């Protein structure tokens, strides 16, 4: 198990998507096997407000809306826990809420196993799932209690 504390992680190096960057993104997407995930990714890469990063073998898109970092499902084969930890840290350190959208149902168990108790989940009208960072988790980071144990409550960090 990775004992990295959340505050030891570097900020994710997000980049603006440009024509040149789309070539790299398309190469990454071409390695994915699931058609429904490709449709979700196409929406993100064509969003003018979205930024992208490749973190430890995971492609992540991010946009900012009303003090909330909205992330895509972290696609790829790298360590899911590491990508999720970085997404949580970036959001928390910037004082933003964290939502991960477009999680296919078949990946829900992977999310729950990678970061047990750190997210609450909601099914969207398109059948995908959104993950909301728990409020108590964000507060534990600010109080230097980043032991990576599940937060004590399931109170969601959203209003």
pLDDT, residue 139, reads: 44
Q: Per-residue pLDDT tens for 98-149?
A: 999 989 888 899 999 998 888 999 998 888 899 999 865 544 444 444 444 4
Q: Per-residue pLDDT tens for 26-84?
A: 777 776 665 556 556 666 666 778 888 988 888 898 998 888 999 998 988 889 999 99
Q: What is the pTM of this model?
A: 0.73
Give the span between the Cα atoms of 121 and 76, in whole angstroms.
21
The first and second tokens of residue 90, run together, are 């970036």
Task: Walk me through the domains of the chain, giving residue ranges and CATH numbers.
Answer: 13-142 (3.40.630.30)
Q: Tell me which residue of 117, 108, 122 sits closest to 137, measured CA to CA.
A: 117
Pick the range with the lowest mean pLDDT from 88-92, 118-122, 150-154: 150-154
């Amino acid at each position: 198990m990775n004992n990295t504390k959340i505050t030891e992680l570097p900020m994710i190096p997000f980049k603006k998507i440009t024509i040149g960057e789309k070539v790299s993104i398309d190469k990454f997407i071409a390695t994915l096997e699931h058609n429904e995930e490709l449709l979700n990714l196409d929406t993100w890469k064509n969003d003018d407000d979205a930024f992208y990063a490749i973190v430890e073998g995971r492609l992540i898109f991010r946009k900012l809306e009303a003090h909330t970092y909205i992330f895509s499902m972290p696609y790829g084969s790298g360590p899911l826990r590491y990508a999720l930890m970085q997404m949580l840290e970036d959001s928390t350190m910037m004082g933003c809420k964290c939502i991960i959208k477009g999680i296919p149902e078949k990946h829900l168990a992977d999310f729950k196993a990678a970061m047990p108790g750190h997210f609450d989940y909601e099914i969207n009208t398109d059948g995908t799932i959104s993950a909301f960072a728990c409020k108590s988790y964000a507060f534990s980071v600010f109080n230097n209690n980043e032991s990576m144990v599940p937060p004590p409550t399931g109170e969601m960090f959203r209003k």
